[in-house]
Amino acid sequence: MQVGRWALAAWDRGILTNRHELLKAEASLKAVVAGQDALERKLNLLEAHQKEVHDALASIENEAERLLLPELSLLDGDATERDRLYARAEAVSSLLQSLGSELHDTVADTNQLGTATLSNTRNTPMATIVQILNNQLQATRPSDCSQAWTHQASSQDEQEWETVSTQMLIIVRHGESEYNKAVLESKHYSDPLIFDPRLTHKGLAQCKELQQKLATILADKRQEFGEPLWV
């Protein structure tokens, strides 16, 4: 009997504690709702002020155009052409802004669709388009690096560095395809590099060094994976 009373008292205490917590949550919710209502009223007030300012600016612009209209006939050819150019510039600026907004929305939609598509399957048209765009973007990065190296080189070695960068791209691109082909056919890795006769001894040595490094990397990858490195 005493145990039942203790259990009932504990049950009552739990109910009272939960009731107090619910009352606190309700008070906090009321405060949040009141703050939201106040914020909405402020936003409505700001929108009303913005509309008033917009209407005032529109009326001022219309009044300025009305006052300027009688004087248009008094302007010379240069002033008329300048006004025409300003009007065209404003129209082009508006079109560019709308185009930028549309491109931003298009990029966001494409990224969203591409992410959803790539997470499901890679055989859909959207996945193919996204993969092609990503490959083109990655293909431009070595060109950017080679251009940066070219600008950092001296004027005497500028042409040499351009040729070295070009040969480096040949090593990387042809090296991967030759490696995949060699693994499939169980042959040794062949030399994909064709040296440019315009290369000096320094550039030739650099290309040879790059080729040796690439061959070492590909050999290590062949031993590690034992299968083609599909791109």
Tokens 């966001």 belong to which residue?
108
Q: Report the predicted TM-score, pTM, of the whole model to 2 decimal places.
A: 0.31
Buried b (16+ CB within 10 A) or exposed e, 83-119: eeeeeeeeeeeeeeeeeeeeeeeeeeeeeeebeebee
pLDDT at 52: 93
pLDDT number for residue 100: 86
Each residue of 50-105: pLDDT tens digit?
A: 999 999 999 998 888 888 777 767 767 777 788 788 888 888 988 998 888 888 88
Q: What is the pLDDT of residue 56?
A: 92
pLDDT of residue 146: 53
Q: What is the DSSP letter of 190?
A: P
| pLDDT the model gives residue 192 | 40
Q: Give the residue ranges of the chain where pLDDT is below 50.
A: 149, 153-154, 156-157, 161, 163-201, 227-231
Report the pLDDT value the prediction gives residue 82, as an integer from 0 to 100: 81
Q: What is the pLDDT of residue 195?
A: 39
Given this model, what pLDDT does residue 143 score?
55
> What pLDDT shows up at residue 179?
41
Burial class (CB in 10 A: 0-12, 13-18, 19+), 131: middle
Question: Can you give the pLDDT at residue 68?
Answer: 76
